[in-house]
Amino acid sequence: MANRGHGEGTIYQRKDGRWVASITLENRKRKIFYGKTRKEVQEKLRIALNELKQGILATGPQQTVKQFLEQWLEEVHKPAIRIGTYKGYRMYLNNHIIPALGYVQLQKLTPQRVQAFYSHMQQEGLSAKSVNNIHGMFHKALDKAVQWGLVPRNVCDAVSLPKQARHEIQPLDEEQARRLLISARGHSLEGLITLAVTTGMRSGELLALKWRDINLDNRSLHIQRSMSYIPGKGYLEFEPKTSKS
């Protein structure tokens, strides 16, 4: 027998003994919850009605972590990032997140599961920096899942991250720079080395430099692009690392 109430959902028991609770959403679709006891589904229904009232109830279709992340990366995020960044994100998905969590239902992903995933990666030898990078991408993706109404919250907000060791950059001092420039004289890469030492340009920016970027009259140089090697595609040019570059 079903118990019905306006705005209160429905609870009933199936012939196989399982209890079912359901609520009707604004799009007239139903969200259904299952449980072994009436008390269990009553509690699920209570939480759902409270989330619905607050506007945080996940109302999207059921899908796995793999299905969501593939759509997010390929259809949403890829057009907005550099190819090099996409390559790194794809590696994180293929080598780490999907093998460990891809089969999990997105709506059933918990902070505990994500925390265990991060811990396992460290035990397997992954650096704290890599774990933090993976977390950054995963967090960004789940923010979109929340925005789409697929999940009520971003579970990555509730995990702890490993501390990264701080490595101080040791730039060449004046004497070391002078000796390097002297050693580079007559070398085929003398011009490249000289620019690297005197401007601090990134390697990709040096490789993408063109004559039209240099103004010999006012002795200025403008960084317009960068270059990276992408497996299967070769050397490709991109926008600079930052818009102010």
Q: How is residue 235 written in tokens?
A: 């050397």
Greatest alpha-carbon pair distance for the chain in Å reads: 91
Q: Mean pLDDT for the chain?
A: 85
CB atoms within 10 A of CB 131: 19
Task: Give the count of alpha carbons within 13 A of 239, CB side only.
Answer: 7
Q: Collapsing DSSP states into helix, strand and coil, what is residue 186?
A: coil
More confident residue, 98 or 26: 98
The string of pLDDT tens digits covering residues 146-165 is 988 888 889 999 999 998 87
pTM reported for the whole predicted model: 0.60
pLDDT at 245: 47
Would you say residue 89 has pLDDT above 70? yes
More confident residue, 227 or 239: 227
Closest C-alpha among 161, 155, 66 to residue 118: 161
Q: How is residue 126 written in tokens?
A: 């992954």
Please, what are the domains in the chain?
A: 3-54 (3.30.160), 65-158 (1.10.150.130), 174-238 (no CATH)
The string of pLDDT tens digits covering residues 91-102 is 999 999 999 999
Rounded (10°) CA dihedral 187, 191, 192, 194: 100
116 Cβ contact partners less than 8 Å away, ≥ 6 residues apart = none
